Amino acid sequence: MTLYFRYLLVLFIFQSCASQPKPDLVDATLDTNIKEKLNYYLYYPEDYQEEPEKDFPILLFLHGGGESGDSLVAIKRNGPPKLIVEGKQFPFLILAPQNPYQKKWWNTRALKQLLDTVVTNNRVDKNRIYLTGLSRGGGAAWEMAVQYPETFAALAVVCGMTPVPYASWLNKKMPIWVFHGEEDESIPISESEEMVAKLKEMGYSVKFTKYPGVGHNSWVKAYNTQELYDWFAEQRLPEK
């Protein structure tokens, strides 16, 4: 091919490309409507009916991945619901929803809507709303505390996945208690260690309980700790 014909070929390609219409950026909006079906247990303390003028605290409990699905009875395997079945009495309401998806994260926006509905329809002290979760539910508890920093008076996380950047977005006035087994192979204890170190560096009020020789099921020891519930009962949002 001569130099002249090469020149004509390049010119043709250039002109063809130049003649193509340029894409434009388009502004658009889509209003999404996502529905979530949440089954849940709601526990009332013994004196709830006996003291009709009293507002009670409430604890939102988020289970781990093993209790997800469509069988609500699975929630009774661990945490406060298990203790309730065994006869333990609590001084506050306990809201225990079920994540309907076995392989998906909790829908925290749906959880907040459920919590708000329960709070509105019951005698709940809005300054004493507590939050706790284990494993996958622990990760969701961190997320909820970040998304709704003015809602919760205290947070307890058991062996949860813990994004350290969340430390900058939490309510610095919210007391936090973290639990983790030192032999956890599912979610390493380093997740909690790094978060707790960052929280302390930033001046948060944080407690950290490590369980030597305990693996991922550190929730057994954590939720059998009476001091945890006494600690929750002492917490309230500061007056505005």
Q: What is the pLDDT of residues 56-73, one digit of tens each?
A: 999 999 999 999 998 999
Token couple for 122: 């019951």
Is residue 72 a part of any domain in this protein?
yes
Rounded-to-integer distance, Cα 141 and Cα 139, Å: 5
- Residue 14's pLDDT is 47
Is residue 67 a part of any domain in this protein?
yes
- Residue 21's pLDDT is 58
Token couple for 181: 């087994």
The answer to whether 111 and 143 are in contact (CB under 8 A) is no
CB-count burial class (<10 Å; 0-12, 13-18, 19+) for 87: exposed
- Residue 19's pLDDT is 52
Sign of the dihedral through C-alpha 78, 64, 161, 112: negative
- Residue 15's pLDDT is 54
* C-alpha triplet 112, 157, 114: angle, nearest 5°: 15
- Residue 1's pLDDT is 52
- Residue 128's pLDDT is 98
Can you give the CATH number for the domain in which 116 is found? 3.40.50.1820
Identify the CA nearest to 122 among candidates 194, 49, 191: 49
Is residue 138 a part of any domain in this protein?
yes
How many independent structural domains does the chain possess? 1
Q: Give 13-32 pLDDT, tens digit per residue.
A: 445 545 555 667 788 888 77
Is residue 181 a part of any domain in this protein?
yes
Residues in Cβ contact with 218 at an 8 Å cutoff, skipping those fewer than 6 apart: 158, 159, 179, 180, 181, 184, 211
Token couple for 175: 């007391």
Q: Give 78-108 pLDDT, tens digit per residue.
A: 999 999 999 999 999 999 999 998 888 999 9
Is residue 60 a part of any domain in this protein?
yes
Is residue 13 a part of any domain in this protein?
no
Which segments in the chain show pLDDT lower than 70?
Answer: 1-23, 240
Is residue 186 a part of any domain in this protein?
yes
Is residue 1 a part of any domain in this protein?
no
Identify the CA nearest to 38 among candidates 94, 119, 121, 95: 95
The domain containing residue 163 runs over which residues? 36-47+54-234
- Residue 29's pLDDT is 83
